Each structure stands twice: as C-alpha cells, then as structure tokens.
C-alpha cells in the first residue's frame, strides 16, 4: 500500500490556478471548496491567513528562498516585510520534519520541496 502526493510540489497559488483550470469547462471541484477561506481546520474558526500572509506573498517569499536561493536580506530588499520574511523562513525550518512524513511527490519545479530536498538549500 502506498501513496503519491500529486500536488505536493505546487505552491498554494498554483493549486488554485490548477483548480480553476480543471473547472474551466464544468465544475469538477466544488466551487465552495475553492472559494472558502483556506484552513488546516486544526481548531474551530481557524484560517491560514490568521497566522500567514496572503498566499501570493507567501509563495513569492518561499519561491525566492527555496528555488532562487535568495538570502532573507535579498528578499527583504525587494520590498517584503522583514518580520514576514523571517517568520516564513523560521516556520520553513521549524516544520521541515513534516516533509519526512509525507508521501513522495511528483517533481515539477526547479527545486522540488519533497522528501528528497536536503539542507542546506
């Protein structure tokens, strides 16, 4: 028995783009699933945006750090809030152990984020 994380190498914004693409001719993914506020549903009323920046900003920071190997200082110099950049990178390192618990993913990005990605970046 096994599994495969088919969308494991997608950023959140790319998941939404894929959902829109899949729904382009008819509703395959229920619209309420796409339009509701994102949540890990760990507690009642919890939403991702309570503790994370909007996905477009989050994804841009992660992409610069992971795929482009930019330093936090360079990302901040591009206009991203220092506190946000530092928090996202801290969370990335702090939660890295979770990647080892996930199924293998299909690599589509320049620098995959799956279990095969090793430190240092």
Domains in the chain, start-ordered, CATH in brackets? Answer: 12-101 (1.10.10)
- The pTM of the whole model exceeds 0.95: no
Residue 32 confidence (pLDDT): 93
Task: Give the least confident one: 21-35, 77-91, 100-114.
Answer: 100-114
pLDDT at 52 over 60: yes
pLDDT at 104 over 70: yes
Task: Give the least confident one: 9-13, 43-47, 88-92.
Answer: 43-47
Q: What is the mean pLDDT of the segment spanning 63-69?
A: 91
Q: What is the mean pLDDT of the segment spanning 2-9?
A: 86
119 is written with which tokens?
Answer: 């430190």
Cα–Cα dist 39/58, whole Å: 15
pLDDT at 120 over 60: no
């Amino acid at each position: 028995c096994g599994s495969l994380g088919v969308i494991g190498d997608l950023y959140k914004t790319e998941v939404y783009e894929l959902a829109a693409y899949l729904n382009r001719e008819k509703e395959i993914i229920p619209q309420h699933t796409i339009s509701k506020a994102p949540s890990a549903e760990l507690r009642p009323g919890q939403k991702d945006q309570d503790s994370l920046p909007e996905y477009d900003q989050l994804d841009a920071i992660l992409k610069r750090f992971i795929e482009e190997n930019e330093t936090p200082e360079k990302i901040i110099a591009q206009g991203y809030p220092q506190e946000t950049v530092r928090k996202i990178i801290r969370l990335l390192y702090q939660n890295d152990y979770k990647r080892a618990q996930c199924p293998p993913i299909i690599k589509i990005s320049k620098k995959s984020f799956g279990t095969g990605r090793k430190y240092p970046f």
